[in-house]
Amino acid sequence: MALTPRLPASVFQGGVSKNRSESTLSNPRHLWRGASACAGTHADRSNGLTKTIGIYIHIPFCLKKCLYCDFHSVSLRSYRPLKEYCRALKQDIKISTAEARGYSVKSIYFGGGTPSLLEPEELAGLVRVINERFYIMDDAEKTLEVNPATVNTFNLKAYRRLGINRISLGVQAFDDKYLRLLGRLHTSKDVFLTIKLLRKSGFKNISIDLMYALPEQALASWEKDIDTTVSLGVEHVSFYDLTVEKGTPFYRMRNKLKQPNQDEQARMYKGGCAKLKKAGYVHYEISSFAKKGRESRHNCIYWLNEEYMGVGSGAYSYINGTRFGKDNNLKRYMDEAAQCRISRFNAEELRGVRRYKETLMLNLRILRGFSIKEVQQRLGSPLPALMKDRLVQLVSEGLVLNKGDCYRLSSRGILLYDVVAGVILE
Ligand code: SF4
């Protein structure tokens, strides 16, 4: 699962076109690197671009809704408007070009939902429009979220040829009992097979998403999931506790779901961290672990409160000091796009203390923390006195550590991050 701005089943069940055209994908690397007639050469287009941005493309479709999921996605069982939606996305990208003029793109993230439901031809169409409109940096990170129930070798190889260089795999658990309980469509066997196929297809940067604090889950079961993850040798791991969100089937069943208590959850979190660290992963963000140099560049954009452009129904952007969303009503979003319009929702300018609050709150998620000097330079204004007071308070409560002008979460602060965020935002 991606972070917002919205903020991923058995292998090979669906989404496989019977009419693939290998020819349209035979040499698609030029889609990212080459020059379109209207945009000048690759080198020309990079001239004078000093600002960088990440692009997030939201694919709000899944084969079936998982029982805990409150993300903006709809089940494709009876409704399959993928082609129409891709047309709308292309329109959205074209319209968004005006907002992101003057930026180089350092990361592109296809999240959802289940982006791996996209046929390679559909993904190629989106890639083409992005490349026509933006300068993509040579080393840009290009991630696709993949659900193990939706892949086949043909599509994976095609995604790779399209330049996708990072895969975020929604695994959640390795115990089939839990996968069924969560309403996932895949089995642990599907995950092993998917990883094999991903490696065979040339992917060298794979991230796995896991969940802990599952109903009646014991520490040993969670630690077994971590051991299995380590044995797969993936480059990146993210794990999150199961949160029962309002409006989900799990919420209606909440009294029957016996999740581990807070102390047990803290032991699970610490146990997972310790095992991954021992296996050589760097714990670089509260929920994220990476082999050296494999930190998620795209997610770091959010944690540093840098700029991003969200494309798609329900996606959020933060550009030129303004954050805004796009219509999360799928039909309305597609109807508007068909008329060459994309409305903004909940637009707000982030300035002064408010911008600082959000930046520090997000920045503290990165465990190396931040230096005041660096943040001031990034935001172009001095640290407000109120923010200095809040940091002093957090240090005095032992939640944040301070050395010189650098601040970072303490071990206790990591476990109590919600409290830290609350103090900064109040
Ligand atoms: S795969 Fe499941 S968790 Fe992921 S977006 Fe779809 S319904 Fe939600």
Say if CB 122 and CB 89 are below 8 A apart.
no
Q: Is the CB of 260 under 6 A from ligand 1?
A: no
From 1, 146, 180, 185, the mutation candidate for ligand 1 (largest count of ligand atoms within 8 A of CB) is: 1
The amino acid at residue 67 is: L
Which pLDDT belongs to residue 32? 47
Report the nearest atom of ligand 1 relative to the CA of 69: 8
Q: What is the pTM of this model?
A: 0.89
Residues whose CB falls within 8 Å of the CB of residue 13, separated by 6 or more in sequence, listed in order: 63, 149, 150, 185
Which pLDDT belongs to residue 44? 47
Q: Is the CB of 172 under 6 A from ligand 1?
A: no
| Domain ranges, ordered by start, for the chain | 22-300, 352-425
Q: How far apart are CA 306 and CA 283, in angstroms?
A: 21
- Looking at ligand 1, which residue's alpha carbon is closest to its atom 7? 65
Q: How far is the CA of 8 from the centre of ligand 1 (A)?
A: 5
Q: How far is the CA of 113 from the centre of ligand 1 (A)?
A: 5
Q: Is the CB of 112 under 6 A from ligand 1?
A: yes
22-300 CATH choice from 3.80.30.20, 3.90.1280.20, 3.30.465.10, 3.20.20.70: 3.80.30.20
Q: How far is the CA of 1 from the centre of ligand 1 (A)?
A: 8
Q: Is the CB of 159 under 6 A from ligand 1?
A: no
Residue 61 structure tokens: 């479709």
- Looking at ligand 1, which residue's alpha carbon is closest to its atom 2? 66
Report the nearest atom of ligand 1 relative to the CA of 184: 2
Reduce the secondary structure of the chain to three states and give it as a string. CCCCCCCCCCCCCCCCCCCCCHHHHCCCCHHHHCCCCCCCCHHHHHCCCCEEEEEEEEECEECCCCCCCCCCCEECCCCCCHHHHHHHHHHHHHHHCCCCCCEEEEEEEEEECCHHHCCHHHHHHHHHHHHHHCEEEEEEEEEEEECCCCCCHHHHHHHHHCCCCEEEEEEECCCHHHHHHHCCCCCHHHHHHHHHHHHHCCCCCEEEEEEECCCCCCHHHHHHHHHHHHHHCCCEEEEEECCCCCCCHHHHCCCCCCCCCHHHHHHHHHHHHHHHHHCCCEEEECCEEECCCCCCHHHHHHHCCCCEEEECCCCEEEECCEEEEECCCHHHHHHHHHCCCCCEEEEEECCHHHHHHHHHHHHCCECCCEEHHHHHHHHCCCCCHHHHHHHHHHHHCCCEEEECCEEEECHHHHHCHHHHHHHHHC
Q: Is the CB of 287 under 6 A from ligand 1?
A: no
- Looking at ligand 1, which residue's alpha carbon is closest to its atom 5? 113
Which pLDDT belongs to residue 344? 95
Is the domain defined by 352-425 classed in CATH 1.10.10.920?
yes
pLDDT in tens, 39-63: 333 444 556 677 999 999 999 999 9
Q: Is the CB of 66 under 6 A from ligand 1?
A: yes
Which pLDDT belongs to residue 1? 45
Q: Is the CB of 65 under 6 A from ligand 1?
A: yes
Q: Is the CB of 179 under 6 A from ligand 1?
A: no
Looking from the CA of 100 toward its CB, the CA atoms found within 13 Å total: 28
Which pLDDT belongs to residue 48? 66
Q: Is the CB of 113 under 6 A from ligand 1?
A: yes
Say if CB 84 and CB 259 are below 8 A apart.
no
Report the nearest atom of ligand 1 relative to the CA of 113: 5
Q: How far is the CA of 153 from the centre of ligand 1 (A)?
A: 22
Q: For 23, left (φ over 0), alpha (ψ -120 to 50), or beta? A: alpha
pLDDT in tens, 138-151: 999 999 999 998 89
Residue whose entry in the numeric block shows the structure tokens 């082999």: 291
Q: How far is the CA of 3 from the centre of ligand 1 (A)?
A: 13
Q: In the chain, which stretches have pLDDT less than 70? A: 1-48, 78-79
pLDDT in tens, 187-201: 999 999 999 999 999
Q: How far is the CA of 62 from the centre of ligand 1 (A)?
A: 6
pLDDT in tens, 5-39: 332 222 222 222 222 232 323 333 344 443 332 33
